[in-house]
Amino acid sequence: MPKLSANLGFLFTEYTLPDAIRAAAAAGFDAVECHFPYDVPVDDVRAAMAQTGLPMLGLNTERGNLAAGDFGLAAIAGRETEARALIDQAVTYAAAVGAGAVHVMAGKSGGGAQAEATFRANLTYACQQAAPHDLTILIEPINQIDAPGYHISTIEHGAEIIDALGLPNLKLMFDCYHTQIMQGDLTRRLTRYISLIGHIQIAAVPDRGAPDHGEVNYPEIMRVIDDLGWTGYVGAEYRPGTKTEDTLRWMERY
C-alpha cells in the first residue's frame, strides 16, 4: 500500500511545526508536508526532520493579502512581481529544508485567457527557479465550492497546462477531495493521468474529515493507486475536528 504523509496544515496544528513533525512520526506517518511554514526557522524544521527521519514532501506559496481575499497570486494578471516574489520565497525555503516540491497557488482569477497566460508564464518562471534545486512544481485543481473563482478546478485543465508547457518538473497535485466534488470518476482519472501526477491527497467527501467515511471508498482508491505502480506518498489533508491523534484509526487498514 502507498506510504502516508501527514499534511501539517490541517493535522497536529495544536503543535509548533517542529513538534508537529515529531507527532506525525510518533503516529506512524512516513512523511510530512505543510502549507505556509515561513515563520518557522529553517534550522528548527531541519532538526525535527533529522530527529524523526521524516522527509518534507512539499509546501505552498503564500496566498497574498488574506484581508483582501487573496488565495494565491500566480494567475492574477497585473500582480506578476508579487507572485514571483512568493515563488522565490517558497523555492528558497523548500530548498533550505530539503523539501521535494512547491505547490504554486493560482488564486481566484475567475478564469479567462489573460489569467491563463499569466499563470503559465509564472509557472514557467517557477519551474526555472526550482530546477537547480531539484524541486518539483505542483499545480492543484481546487473545487469551486470551497474556493469560488479559483483559476484551476479540474484535472483536465491541469493536464492541459502541463502538456502545453512541457516542463519536466511541473506536475499535478491530485487531491481526491477536490476532484470528487468537482468531477468524480476518481479511478479513471487517476489511471489516465498517473504519469502527470506528482502528489496525491485524501480526505472524506463532503465534510473533509478523516478518510474513513463519506462517499469515497478510499480502500479501493488505495488499491487502484497501488496497482498503478504509484511509488510516491498519499497525503492526509483532512480537518480532524478534534485532537489529531484521536482520528487516526483509518491508518490501521493501510
* Catalytic residue IDs: 140, 237
* CA–CA separation, 163 and 180 (whole Å): 23
Q: Is 224 exposed, middle or buried (0-12, 13-18, 19+ CB in 10 A)?
A: middle
Q: State the cell numbers at 155.
A: 484535472
| CA–CA distance, 74 with 139 (Å, rounded to integer) | 10
For the chain, state the CA radius of gyration.
17
- DSSP structure class, residue 204: -
- Residue of 135, 177, 136 whose CA lies nearest to 153: 177
Instruction: Give the CA diameter of the chain.
Output: 48
